[in-house]
Chains A and B, each alone.
Chain A
């Protein structure tokens, strides 16, 4: 809790605890701070609460106790419209892309503006022209050409869908991007491309990104900071270079996986 006292961080998690069933905590007293730059990778075995941690930040999951301070607000206590206003500031990328299949690529990207757009405009697809222009730019920026814009999302490959998912998150002009296992449904080559894209976006647009990831190699290669979790608690927090085999044993248990 060194950086916390200075109050300089963008996101501070304090004593976060989450129980889906009473008495069985998935997260036990997690406290973390995130500055407003860089890619942070959270690694750890399945079922260790990585996903729950990330979902607590934008309140797709409601924590049992603890504080999540983001831009001066405690996300854990918000509800209704104030929660929605804060969610607009946080983009999210999902493992299975979570695109609306029957909508076109550009409609999916424009979903990122739904926190700002009136329902009738969304219904008539009368998005502001500057939003549409930005959506085209983003489709370009994530490596899809403009001809993809009017294709339906279910006509794309996995890697292309994830690019659309990233464009949707960036479309929010977020202060923070959460990525929940963004590469777990992709083949190794595409996984590298997607992580490259996330790292590139983080530096070029100055957005901090928190990534849940299974693949330790990818985490070391693209993250500026690594958090190792096991059994609902943080056991490593530091630069990728400092992550030793001993840490990995502690995180994943046993040695066979190496």
Chain B
């Protein structure tokens, strides 16, 4: 009769780490559920309200499309695209500053990283609030808010791609006495170009979605029409706008994925 051998999946330290994590999750969820304010009366008629909402949306007010939606849609597209382009122009130099293998000055690295974090922490809608306050309502604020929100995204990802670049070709160029600008053009760029295009496309795709809501705070695009329709309670127009946004997003996704498969 042999002694029963004990087997446990994790070591003690692993089990403690997991247990602490699980307890934290439970505490966070329970605390949130208990203290968050939910008004139960609103919940009782939620199904009715939802049904009512959809019944008011259908049929769509098709006449509204040529009147207001089409132009706003084009504007949304331009806001997203221009915003992405500006973000790329601003983010590229910063991401070189942020890449520790390219610039070995911790202060510059930190400054660039801080700009990225600040840019990413503030939502594009909140950026839009700030720019509407500065430049007034309209597409300019929209473009800038998309650009400022995207700088952090593009810069962080592209900076990481730069840091992952192989050192071999760079060292070879340095050994050949190439100036720093040539290191950039012939050493780094060929290695990170695929990553660059994929990041740019990904952000453009996201920005198409984001630019659709900027109009809610007055920063131009289809959101302005959506806001107006909602304030007037024209739900048949709201429904049409939502359907149009859905269609545009789907088309964008198809386009970006086909471009990505072609150039990568």
Contacts and interface: CB of A to CB of B under 8 A. Distances in A.
A151 to B, nearest CB: 12
Residue in B2, B4, B7, B9 whose Cβ sees the most chain A Cβ within 10 Å: B7
Interface string A74-110: 0000000000000000000000000000001011000
A136 B2 CA distance: 11
A129 B8 CA distance: 12
Interface in B1-16: 2, 4-5, 7, 9
A107 B9 contact: yes
Contact of B4 (A104, A125, A129): A129
Contacts, number: 17
Contacts of B4: 129, 132-133
B5 to A, nearest CB: 5
A150 B9 CA distance: 8
A104 B9 contact: yes
Contacts of A129: 4
B5 A136 contact: yes
A149 interface: yes
B183 to A, nearest CB: 39
Nearest to A110: B7
B5 A125 contact: no
Interface string B1-39: 010110101000000000000000000000000000000
Contacts of A133: 2, 4-5
B19 to A, nearest CB: 14
B160 to A, nearest CB: 26
Contacts of B7: 106, 132, 135-136, 149-150
A146 B207 CA distance: 56
Nearest to B3: A133
Nearest to A104: B9
A132 B2 CA distance: 13
B5 A132 contact: yes
A171 to B, nearest CB: 14
Nearest to B6: A132
Contacts of B5: 132-133, 136, 146
Interface string A199-235: 0000000000000000000000000000000000000
A149 B9 CA distance: 10
A133 B1 CA distance: 11
Interface of B: 2, 4-5, 7, 9
14 contacts: A104-B9, A106-B7, A107-B9, A125-B9, A129-B4, A132-B4, A132-B5, A133-B2, A133-B4, A133-B5, A136-B5, A136-B7, A146-B5, A150-B7
Given A129-B4, A132-B4, 8 more contacts: A104-B9, A106-B7, A125-B9, A133-B2, A133-B4, A133-B5, A135-B7, A150-B7
